[in-house]
Structure 1
């Protein structure tokens, strides 16, 4: 049963009073053998039967449309949201009040009475005629990064037969989910960061070539290797011809996000700039997508399972970017933190070829020591540094890594 009448509502007492009145009048009728009293008993009994039919009909016949849907927004964006409710009973529901709650990531700004209470219970007037549908539509605005759901749905209305307030609560899980992505905070200097290695990305000035992607031929030069000679083209043109291939590089980005920070006593605490860190990561992901650069993300937010940290596997394209935004949106503001050095140890074992590594957040002394073992295969390590003029990307000095050991 999707809707249930809340215990303790006023109409339950009315039912008990009517039942008691029937018993009293029935006893009086039997004792005095009065036809008038039995008529009164019949009237009360008919009223009681109608009362029960009304209660069951309302609970069973009220239907709230509950399709699975996900609404994805950036902070500040607006969307129209609707509730579709159907009254399938023969009784009208008049002068009711529909109530619900939405998480703090979303604001129904036309309904909330106070700006500071927008995430608390919201009320809308609602009347539904018999055998009719009603649509409640109102605008919502994304307030802050996070995930929100509609919960605590109730409908409060006057009972048709005794006029006391009757409250129905919706007990099914409401399937609508709101996902608010992080803001995109710019990171200066990212366009100059990449590590040139053999790979799949096209770049005209790369020293590496994709032999599976020939572009054509040109006249042979004495410096050309023998295996590049195109013998068919040579026979056709009667001149030595050399194959030309696409220039390629590996520009894969690895974003490693540290949500914790250490004080002077080496005590680990939650980084107060968490939102900015995730916003920088979102911006870098957008940049990589625009430039068709594969990327992956590691975040030291603890999660259950064999891999105790949040990880988005390497990928590229718009779909991968949307996965990244959703993953960042789902990081809880008070998520349990995995020690950064522990995650770094696990991540370092996965590096089997050079990539461009970008750290977002603080670098601990232990992490600097671990990076010293990466330098054999990792030559491009950077860190996003926040300043008064915004965030910028800076190379992690090799001297600092060597000194850490």
Structure 2
């Protein structure tokens, strides 16, 4: 069964009282031979049977459709939660209330549905009745408040008993698979499109300045400016004229976005920055712009995870197709994340021989930059730092 049924404590007491009355009226009816008392006894017995049958059967044929669904929203965007319940019984549920809870990042548009709310969650309640057999759909319009993810939790249906009027509660004990994902906002970073470094790499580009001498793709006629070492002698002998080797042009525009979401107390303890939302908004803009430009991008965040490496890393190589995946990754960063040492993370990233040539640093890095700069310089890389200047967020180049 999908539903865990709970009867009101007063229901059993009422049934016990009625049963006691049945015994008493039956005994008196036999003693004084009064037909009216037998009729009263019959009505009371019918009351007990109907009440017991309703208690036993109600909710057994109620099915909540539970298909995995994702509702994706941006902050302040409006969406809709849809609950589909199929009732395969003729027993009605009248004047009930369906309650559930949502996390802090979404709320119902109709404030009448909000029963209780605090900083962490919102408890909602909507009217609910089923009068006949079939499908009942409940739609709750919602509004995204802030970044994060939430699921519809603690689903319950409470309604009065049709005979004794005590309350019955049906609790949906399975996880409800509909998830609401609210993407982060974006903070514009000026100067991002002005900084594109290219070097020799594995990305094929006919407009690259670099040629990969390991991958010849053909020959062409020799011109006086060609190097003598580039002459293809076999092709020259075959065509009876000097031929020059043509190599595949390639480049490397890969970028690593390294985000420090932590700050350090005076005692050296690391904790999630109170400016987490702002940092993720900047990260969204930087990553989204890079992906829209077709730049292979790897995102690193010093939120702790199990396994190796001990920080979050996401690789995006499909350009615009990966924007939604990137937004979802940022939405799942929680305000109470455990964090790792950002400097250790940065060293681990830069020391990799196949690491990108362009590093974008977001967060608090100033005190650690001299050591990181030295490592980037050894790898012939480029560093940029996102910082605030004159009320704007800009990307500042760092000399290595």
Matched ranges for 1:83-162 at <5 A: 83-112=83-112, 117=117, 119-162=121-164
Pair 1:386 & 2:379 matched:
no
Structure 2 unaligned residues grouped into runs of 5+: none
Distance in 1 separating the partners of 2:396 and 2:217: 37
> Contact (CA 8 Å) 1:341, 1:366: kept in 2 or not?
yes
* Aligned positions, number: 397
| Aligned twin of 1:287 | 289
- Give the 3-state SS of the residue equivalent to 2:75 in structure 1: coil
> Contact (CA 8 Å) 2:99, 2:154: kept in 1 or not?
yes
| Aligned twin of 2:209 | 206
Distance in 2 separating the partners of 1:101 and 1:213: 63
- Give the 3-state SS of the residue equivalent to 1:369 in structure 2: helix
RMSD of Structure 2 on Structure 1 (CA): 3.2
> Contact (CA 8 Å) 1:80, 1:137: kept in 2 or not?
yes
Distance in 2 separating the partners of 1:9 and 1:158: 13
| Aligned twin of 1:193 | 195
Evaluate the alpha carbon distance shift between residue 231 and residue 100 of structure 1 in structure 2; reply closer, same or farther with a 3 A threshold.
same
Distance in 1 separating the partners of 2:379 and 2:101: 51
| Aligned twin of 2:168 | 166
Matched ranges for 1:208-227 at <5 A: 208-209=211-212, 217=220, 220-224=223-227, 226-227=229-230
> Contact (CA 8 Å) 1:354, 1:377: kept in 2 or not?
no
Evaluate the alpha carbon distance shift between residue 154 and residue 113 of structure 1 in structure 2; reply closer, same or farther with a 3 A threshold.
closer
Structure 1 counterpart of 2:330, from 315, 321, 328? 328
> Contact (CA 8 Å) 2:211, 2:247: kept in 1 or not?
no
Evaluate the alpha carbon distance shift between residue 203 and residue 264 of structure 1 in structure 2; reply closer, same or farther with a 3 A threshold.
farther
Q: CA deviation at 1:116?
A: 9.4
Matched ranges for 1:285-324 at <5 A: 285-313=287-315, 315-324=317-326
Q: Which moved more, 1:146-155 or 1:244-253?
A: 244-253
- Give the 3-state SS of the residue equivalent to 1:107 in structure 2: strand
Evaluate the alpha carbon distance shift between residue 43 and residue 255 of structure 1 in structure 2; reply closer, same or farther with a 3 A threshold.
same
Q: CA deviation at 1:60?
A: 0.5
Evaluate the alpha carbon distance shift between residue 307 and residue 37 of structure 1 in structure 2; reply closer, same or farther with a 3 A threshold.
farther
- Give the 3-state SS of the residue equivalent to 1:375 in structure 2: helix
> Contact (CA 8 Å) 1:257, 1:359: kept in 2 or not?
yes
| Aligned twin of 2:66 | 66
- Give the 3-state SS of the residue equivalent to 1:187 in structure 2: coil
Evaluate the alpha carbon distance shift between residue 45 and residue 66 of structure 1 in structure 2; reply closer, same or farther with a 3 A threshold.
same
Evaluate the alpha carbon distance shift between residue 162 and residue 344 of structure 1 in structure 2; reply closer, same or farther with a 3 A threshold.
same
> Contact (CA 8 Å) 2:362, 2:385: kept in 1 or not?
yes
- Give the 3-state SS of the residue equivalent to 1:82 in structure 2: strand
Q: CA deviation at 1:63?
A: 1.7
Evaluate the alpha carbon distance shift between residue 138 and residue 239 of structure 1 in structure 2; reply closer, same or farther with a 3 A threshold.
farther
| Aligned twin of 1:357 | 359
Distance in 2 separating the partners of 1:317 and 1:106: 30
Deviations 1:228-273 (A, max 9, x none): 659769967x764546555431011111110112356655443221
Q: Which moved more, 1:374-383 or 1:7-16?
A: 7-16
> Contact (CA 8 Å) 1:97, 1:156: kept in 2 or not?
yes
- Give the 3-state SS of the residue equivalent to 1:192 in structure 2: coil
Structure 1 counterpart of 2:258, from 242, 256, 259? 256
Q: Which moved more, 1:46-55 or 1:264-273?
A: 264-273
Structure 1 unaligned residues grouped into runs of 5+: 399-405
TM-score by length of 2: 0.86
Deviations 1:45-73 (A, max 9, x none): 33222212212221202221111111112
